[in-house]
Every structure is written in C-alpha cells, then in structure tokens.
Amino acid sequence: MGKKSRRKGQVKAAKMPYVARTFEGLPSEGDWIALREFVPSATAATTLSDGTPLRIISLLPGTGAGLKRPDGEIWVGLQVIHNFGDISRDLAHVVELARELEPGNPVVMTDPGVGPRLQDLLDPKAGFDVTVHEGFDFWLTETDTSAAAQEALQMANESVAPTVRVEGVESAYRTDMGTHSYLRWVMSQDEEKLLDAFSRLQAAGDELLGEGTELIGSFRAHGRLVPVWDVEVDADALAAPAKAFERRLADALAVDAELTSEERRARRELSSRQVTIR
C-alpha cells in the first residue's frame, strides 16, 4: 500500500476547538487568568461537582500538569508548556487522569481530545479562594527531605518575584520586579467598552491609583484586558485608591456618549501601549 493510500485510511483524532476566553463561566475568572499568566506562586481551593476537593496551583515542580498528593488530594498546575487548543479542556483532562492515579504520583499529560471542560467538572457554587505564597515551600511534604528536592525548591524560590494581591478589588496583583513594581489588574468587562472608559478617565486625568502610580499600558490574556500600572507604593497603600478607581471606572463605563476628540486621542494611545512584563 502506498503512502497516499495509508494516509487516506488514517482517521485524525478529534480535537477541541480553540477557545480564546477559556476561563469564562468559572468563579473568579480574573484570578484564573492571573495565576495562569503572571502570579508566580499561588494556590486556590475549589471543589468538583461530586464534592471532591481540588487545588489549583500556579506552578508545579518541572511545570508539571498535575499530581495526586500522598493524601489523595488532586493538584492541577496552570503554568504549563502544553496547550492543545482549549486550556479548560486540558485542565479537565488533568483532573480525569489524576483521578485514576494512586496517591503520590504525577500526571503524565496526554492529548485530551474532545471531552468535558473544567466548567463541566467544577461545582458551580464552589468558590476560588486564592492564597499567594512567598515561595514554593508548600510543594514539599514532610517526607521530601532529599538533597535533590531541597535544591529544586531553593532554585524555584530564588526565581519568585514577590507578589501580593491587592485587597478590596478582584484580580489585582502587585509584583516587585526589582527595579520596578507593577500592578496588573485583570478586568472582567468587555474590552471595547473598557477601552472607552479608560480613555475617558485618562483624558480627565483620573486614571491613576494615587501618588507614585502611572498607567503604562495593558495586555490581553484569555479574552480579557489587563491594565498595568507602574507603582512606587506597596499593596496595602494601593487598596483604597484601587477601590476608588473601581468606582470611577464604573461611572465611566455607564457613559453612552460619543468619545470627545481628546478621549479618542487617549484611546489610540492606550491601544498602542501593549505591555509585556516577564
């Protein structure tokens, strides 16, 4: 049989279609995005629809997909190197694989194919309670005392950029990058309306989060817009200004009038300032 005949007889495995806003419908969508994209060390507790506890981890050792802990708890990693098109389906597949494991074993990722998404597996009433950590000490159990495990932990901890969640608002995180500190805030609103609102605020000089802050741009992540401020104050000092900004933003979002020429100019400037921070 020739190559052409063999190819004709092969059936391609079905794949999930690409989904841009993959975390839509999950509790605290913005926090899922933040833990996936830029929060270095964080965990979040949630629950599967059958009542099984599930722990979401920003990063697992070796960028692992997931594991079943010695106590049987399933951990799922968000910052991974694989992407089969629909990240939510990928994560659901990790849960499926972990359920079949004996405790104390890692998930070996395979092509998830077509199947349930994470939205289908989670309890819709479950929360998403995020804890930001200073390092990755939570990776290890009391029995992980080998020199290799300790060395890997030390290397991982040294790579962490100190990050703190800003209290009082959703999905806003301040990160100290050494020479600069940034606030990245995952916004839940429609991007076009959000850009209009930010344009109104910037034209009016209301885009800051208090003294020592500067709106430097934004980036897109999983179908949501993430504005970025350069900040010179700590997360505690940002809490009240961020809450006040949230109120100003809500007022700006409620405006239906056409943008003024100054606001249109501000919008063009905002749209052109795409920020990448690593």
pLDDT in tens, 116-135: 999 999 999 999 999 999 99
Phi-psi region of 51 (alpha: psi -120 to 50; beta: other; left: phi over 0): left
What is the β-pairing status of strands 163-165 and 181-185?
A: unpaired
Residue 39: other Cβ atoms inside 10 A: 26
Q: What percent of the chain has pLDDT over 90?
A: 84
C-alpha span between 266 and 93 (Å, rounded)? 43
Of 8-17, 26-35, 97-106, which range is least confident?
A: 8-17
Length of the chain: 278
What is the identity of the amino acid at 240? A
Q: What are phi and psi of 178, to 5 degrees?
A: 105, -85
**Which residues are within 8 A (CB) of 269 and not within 5 positions of it... i.e. 6 or more apart?**
202
C-alpha span between 224 and 194 (Å, rounded)? 10
| CA-based torsion, 221, 226, 230, 232: positive or negative | negative
Phi-psi region of 104 (alpha: psi -120 to 50; beta: other; left: phi over 0): left
pLDDT, one tens digit per residue, over 130-157 is 999 999 999 988 777 788 888 989 999 9
Q: What percent of the chain has pLDDT over 70?
A: 94
**pLDDT the model gives residue 76:** 98
Mean pLDDT (the chain, rounded)? 92
**pLDDT the model gives residue 278:** 52
**pLDDT the model gives residue 8:** 52
| CB distance 201 to 208 below 8 Å | no
- Comparison of pLDDT for 13 and 122, the residue scoring more: 122
Task: Rounding to the nearest 10 degrees, give the CA dihedral for residues 135, 141, 144, 150.
Answer: 10
* 11 pLDDT higher than 70: no
* Residue given tokens 């992407």 in the structure block: 83
The domains found in the chain, sorted by start residue, are 29-160 (no CATH), 164-272 (3.30.1460)
Q: What are phi and psi of 59, to 5 degrees?
A: -145, 130
**pLDDT the model gives residue 272:** 86
C-alpha span between 89 and 17 (Å, rounded)? 10
